[in-house]
Amino acid sequence: MDLQALKSEATWLQSYIDSPEKQKQLYRRTLLIVVMSQIFGGAGLAAGVTVGALLAEEMLGTNSLAGMPAALFTLGSALAAWLVGRFSQRYGRRFGLAAGFITGGIGAIGVVTAAAFDQVFLLFVSLFIYGAGTATNLQARYAGTDLAAPKQRATAISVAMVSTTFGAVAGPNLVSVMGEFATFIGIPALAGPFILAAVAFILAGLVLLIFLRPDPLIVAKALADAKISDDSKQSVQKVEATAIHKRGMMVGATVMVLTQIVMVAIMTMTPVHMKHHGHGLSEVGMVIGIHIAAMYLPSLVTGFLVDKVGRTIMAIASGVTLLSAGLLAAFAPTDSMLGLTTALALLGLGWNFGLISGTALIIDSTSPSTRAKTQGTVDVLVALAGASGGAMSGMVVAHSSYATLSLAGGVLALLLVPVVVWSRRKVGTE
């Protein structure tokens, strides 16, 4: 970067440092751009996930590897979360998130190409790359928080999550339409939703690349640098704050990882459990649909509560809610749609509480100088936790029962309570 460009950057950054009003305007603008990108991102995520296993089964001629798509884009999302976090830290949210979404779109194009030419190896490679879109869709929730005040952070997270819901609901409902379009252009019908995923992810990336400027993370870094002082008293306070922040990061990560494991484990095996006890696909679809709605739709209320009553209380509420879900899933009569529906709704709600409170704890515990890469690392753990929960759930049910899995999940979630209480006692924060 030449001297003139450096001077120009310093000038516009200083204008934000000197103007709280400009900071507020940029915060609101950033939220709007994140909402737009998340609607597209949600459509790309849901449309592809809905038919991934079916496409693999059709191309392979067997259902023995039908779980490979979920495993591949979960692993791909874990790697992408790490890369997007570091790329965002170095170049800003705009380039990091745009690169992640566009990469996911390229992966979706690869899936369509693999289906058109019946190339299984290309399918698996492309599904791995497609995972970048799912990771970026989750990482984008952080962008709206960079300029948020501490008491606005959870609300900003919740706005991004609610926005994802609109796309996530629209995506599966367009499966048949996109299937007909795919057949019309001469490719397998199950590749159709991936055409939608490619367009949606690339549009999400372009929205961020074109409109997310000034970059909120770059401005947040400049604001943080402006507050640095050589005062020795502040240096002591900084050392104490560092210890507090390390504990906060550990607790935030623990909350998100545990809730992800429990949610994915029970959710994954619920359709299998229902099918084995005579429930039809329409009933399975209704239960899972309500579960997904409970994961995202309460976000605005949850964000408000996390900001108002505190991260600790809502993290504990997550553990208790997930325990209730596990108990109800374990003991509800197998023919009771009401029992299973309520259990899965509570499972989604408990996950929602945990993700938003845990994310807020991570943001509270990081500075702009390291925030993006730390968030990326935590999301890697969350992605791997989900993969582990899904893999272990099948083994538990195969060797025991769905009731045992649900009880184990509820008890595991309850570990959040002593972890969070311990953190509060040690650190002395909310």
Q: What are the C-alpha distances in Å from 22 to residues 19, 25, 35, 158?
A: 5, 5, 20, 23
Best-predicted range by mean pLDDT (82-86, 166-170, 401-405): 82-86
- pLDDT tens digit sequence for 37-48: 999 998 887 666
Number of Cβ within a 10 Å radius of residue 118? 11
pLDDT at 104: 95
> Are 189 and 327 in a shared domain?
no
228 pLDDT above the threshold of 80: no
Token pair 């949850």 in the structure block, residue: 302
- pLDDT tens digit sequence for 290-335: 887 888 889 989 999 999 999 999 999 999 999 999 999 999 887 7
Give the pLDDT mean for 249-257.
Answer: 91
pLDDT at 199: 94
> Are 347 and 385 in a shared domain?
yes
The last residue of a domain, from among 180, 198, 221: 221
Give the pLDDT mean for 67-84.
Answer: 83
Q: Could you tell me if residue 136 is inside a domain? A: yes
The Cα 67–Cα 48 span in angstroms is 14
pLDDT at 429: 47
Q: What are the C-alpha distances in Å from 404 to residues 186, 330, 335, 364, 387?
A: 47, 7, 18, 36, 19
Q: Could you tell me if residue 4 is inside a domain? A: no
> Are 253 and 205 in a shared domain?
no
Q: Could you tell me if residue 238 is inside a domain? A: yes
> Are 46 and 161 in a shared domain?
yes
Q: Which domain holds residue 85?
A: 9-221
In the chain, % of residues over pLDDT 70: 87
Report the amino acid identity of residue 1.
M
Q: What is the rounded (10 degree) CA torsion for 88, 298, 313, 359? A: -10
> Are 61 and 102 in a shared domain?
yes
Contact 391/268 with Cβ under 8 angstroms? no
Q: Which residues contact 373 (CB under 8 A, 6 or more apart)?
A: 85, 86, 88, 89
- pLDDT tens digit sequence for 255-279: 999 999 999 888 878 877 787 777 7
CATH number assigned to the domain comprising residue 396: 1.20.1250.20
Number of domains into which the chain is organized: 2
> Are 144 and 63 in a shared domain?
yes
What is the average pLDDT value for the chain, to the nearest integer?
Answer: 84
Number of Cβ within a 10 Å radius of residue 20? 10
Question: Is the pTM for the entire model greater than 0.85?
Answer: no
> Are 264 and 396 in a shared domain?
yes
> Are 114 and 157 in a shared domain?
yes
Q: Name the DSSP class of 118.
A: T
pLDDT at 368: 85
Q: Could you tell me if residue 430 is inside a domain? A: no
The last residue of a domain, from among 197, 221, 245: 221
Give the pLDDT mean for 176-191.
Answer: 87
The Cα 16–Cα 221 span in angstroms is 11
pLDDT at 172: 65
At residue 344's C-alpha, the angle toward residues 162 and 414, to 5°, is: 95
Q: Could you tell me if residue 209 is inside a domain? A: yes
Q: Using N-to-C axis directions, what is the helix angle for 153-173 and 281-296, rounded to 10°?
A: 160
pLDDT at 236: 45
Q: What are the C-alpha distances in Å from 171 to residues 270, 358, 396, 402, 411?
A: 22, 27, 32, 29, 34
The last residue of a domain, from among 179, 196, 221: 221
Q: Could you tell me if residue 2 is inside a domain? A: no
Q: Could you tell me if residue 270 is inside a domain? A: yes
- pLDDT tens digit sequence for 186-224: 998 888 889 999 999 999 999 999 999 899 999 988 888
> Are 203 and 304 in a shared domain?
no
Q: Could you tell me if residue 3 is inside a domain? A: no
> Are 18 and 133 in a shared domain?
yes
232 pLDDT above the threshold of 50: no
Q: Which residues contact 328 (CB under 8 A, 6 or more apart)?
A: 339, 342, 343, 346
- pLDDT tens digit sequence for 355-414: 999 999 999 888 888 888 888 999 899 888 887 887 788 788 888 888 999 999 999 998
pLDDT: which is higher, 54 or 220:
220
Cα radius of gyration (the chain): 22
> Are 194 and 333 in a shared domain?
no
> Are 75 and 149 in a shared domain?
yes
pLDDT at 116: 93
The Cα 324–Cα 300 span in angstroms is 22
